[in-house]
């Protein structure tokens, strides 16, 4: 009887192995990703992605910025008031490059993108009036991680369409490159800068930023990556919390995966609110650069797929006027002016109302913004100052 034990044991073991093999053969595999909806989008300021959506229970169509730099989803405070929505206070802080503030929330909301309804959304409330002035269109909110964490999102800049797909196995198109960023709520990607020296660092992958490359001053100074003799110009940028001052310069070479860009416009800012958690991040990559790729955002697999599109070789803009244009109450208004800039030298003043640029008096905000984006160009403006019409001539300056 004792001699038979090993045989029984072997039979028992073989049954266990057989059971394990059968279980492995029946392992559940997710169905392939499929398209849920396709929505058109437009570009504000040549780079910021805008989409239309409806908040369930309200008939108005709202305009949202699509933003990988947002850790959730948000609604403009004026929009919430107009829809008679009352947010609840919280102890959560919302932090952006321009400030820090306590968040208020609208809980358990539903958003409709075409036929796709996204439920259980907690909107934090923010004031986007200033972004509306900058982009010349009412900004009702920002869509971020709350969308990207649930779906595979494909952005096609060639046809200006966003395809929202279910999670699951996906075949990426040929001709691109697969990034593997670190994603908690925000995607962080390694990239290389070369100017005064060559250095690799981590950057926020931020399609909601209408800039090319932004570096924190701590990173820029510690790394000595930018040549000391590079020209620098003071500019104003905009983010959560309002305006902030930056310096505009450029770097000789920037590499993202296998893709290389030369003479990239670069902003350097004082990271007062520690958004970059330096030295964790060197800064952020914005959509003036990222729009050059049709992009697949697959957060579940921690993958971002880039394929160069028709914008890939579009030249960067280096022009510089030193002023902002705002669209306020159907008027095009001169905003803040940097001292010593072309706008300052020409005699423009904050609050001037622009009637025409280069004989174009159609009051098209987008066209007027574009007219100020051609380097070394001389422009002629007709402005109203008080009750007086004034002609202003200005030569735009270039970084090069």
Check whether residue 39 and residue 153 sit in a common domain: yes
| 119 is a domain residue | yes
User: Rounded CA gap, 156 and 138, in Å?
Assistant: 23
Cβ atoms of 284 and 278 closer than 8 Å? no
Q: Could you tell me which of 327, 314, 337 has the C-alpha nearest to residue 363?
A: 327
**pLDDT, tens digit (0-9, with 9 covering 90-100), for 370-388:** 888 877 789 999 999 999 9
**pLDDT, tens digit (0-9, with 9 covering 90-100), for 69-121:** 999 999 999 999 999 999 998 877 666 655 566 789 999 999 999 999 999 99
Residue 20's DSSP bridge partners are none
DSSP state for residue 366 in the 8-state scheme? H
Percent over 70 (pLDDT), the chain: 89
| 121 is a domain residue | yes
**pLDDT, tens digit (0-9, with 9 covering 90-100), for 294-325:** 999 999 999 999 999 999 999 998 878 888 89
Q: What is the value of pTM for the model shown?
A: 0.88
| Domain containing residue 361: CATH number | 2.30.42.10
Distances (CA, A) of 241 to 49, 150, 180, 256, 329: 20, 28, 31, 29, 22
pLDDT of residue 244: 76
Percent over 90 (pLDDT), the chain: 74
Check whether residue 159 and residue 187 sit in a common domain: no
**Alpha helices, DSSP H, located in the chain:** 5-25, 77-82, 129-135, 145-148, 217-223, 287-290, 342-346, 365-371
**pLDDT, tens digit (0-9, with 9 covering 90-100), for 19-78:** 445 555 566 677 999 999 999 999 998 899 999 999 999 999 999 999 999 999 999 999
Residue 198 belongs to domain spanning: 177-289
**pLDDT, tens digit (0-9, with 9 covering 90-100), for 273-297:** 888 999 999 999 999 999 999 999 9
Check whether residue 71 and residue 99 sit in a common domain: yes
| Domain containing residue 40: CATH number | 2.40.70.10
Mean pLDDT (the chain) is 89
User: Rounded CA gap, 276 and 273, in Å?
Assistant: 9
Asked whether the predicted pLDDT for residue 338 surpasses 90, the reply is no
Asked whether the predicted pLDDT for residue 254 surpasses 80, the reply is yes
């Amino acid at each position: 009887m004792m001699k038979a034990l090993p045989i029984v044991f072997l039979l028992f073991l073989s049954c266990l192995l057989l059971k394990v093999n059968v279980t492995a053969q029946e392992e559940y595999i997710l169905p392939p990703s499929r398209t849920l909806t396709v929505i058109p989008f437009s570009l504000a300021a040549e780079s910021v992605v805008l989409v239309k959506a409806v908040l369930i229970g309200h008939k108005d169509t709202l305009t949202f910025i699509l933003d990988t730099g947002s850790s959730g989803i948000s609604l403009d405070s004026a929009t919430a008031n107009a829809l008679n929505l009352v947010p609840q206070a919280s102890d959560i802080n919302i932090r952006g490059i321009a400030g820090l503030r306590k968040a208020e929330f609208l809980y358990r909301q539903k958003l409709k993108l075409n036929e796709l309804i996204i439920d259980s959304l907690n909107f934090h409330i923010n004031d986007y009036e200033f972004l509306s002035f900058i982009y010349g269109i009412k900004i009702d909110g920002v869509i971020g991680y709350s969308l990207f964490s649930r779906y595979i999102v494909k952005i096609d800049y060639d046809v200006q369409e966003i395809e929202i797909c279910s999670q699951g196995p996906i075949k990426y198109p040929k001709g691109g490159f697969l990034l593997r960023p670190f994603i908690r709520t925000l995607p962080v990607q390694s990239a290389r800068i070369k100017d005064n020296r060559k250095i690799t660092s981590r950057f926020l992958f931020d399609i909601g930023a209408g800039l090319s490359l932004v570096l924190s001053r701590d990173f820029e100074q510690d790394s000595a990556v930018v040549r000391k003799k590079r020209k620098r110009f003071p500019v104003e940028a905009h983010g959560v919390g309002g305006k902030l001052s930056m310096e505009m310069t450029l770097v000789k070479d920037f590499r993202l995966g296998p893709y290389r860009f030369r003479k990239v416009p670069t902003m350097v800012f004082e990271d007062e609110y520690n958004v970059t958690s330096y030295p964790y991040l060197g800064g952020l990559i914005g959509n003036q650069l990222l729009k050059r790729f049709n992009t697949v955002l697959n957060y579940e697999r921690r993958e971002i797929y880039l394929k160069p599109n028709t914008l890939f070789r579009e030249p960067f803009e280096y022009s510089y006027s030193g002023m902002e244009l705002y669209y306020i109450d159907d008027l095009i208004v001169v905003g803040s002016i940097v001292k010593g800039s072309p706008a300052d030298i020409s005699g423009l003043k904050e609050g001037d109302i622009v009637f025409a640029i280069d004989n174009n008096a159609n009051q098209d905000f987008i066209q007027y913004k574009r007219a100020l984006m051609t380097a070394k160009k001389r422009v002629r403006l007709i402005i109203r100052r008080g009750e007086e019409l004034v002609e202003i001539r200005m030569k735009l300056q270039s970084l090069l």
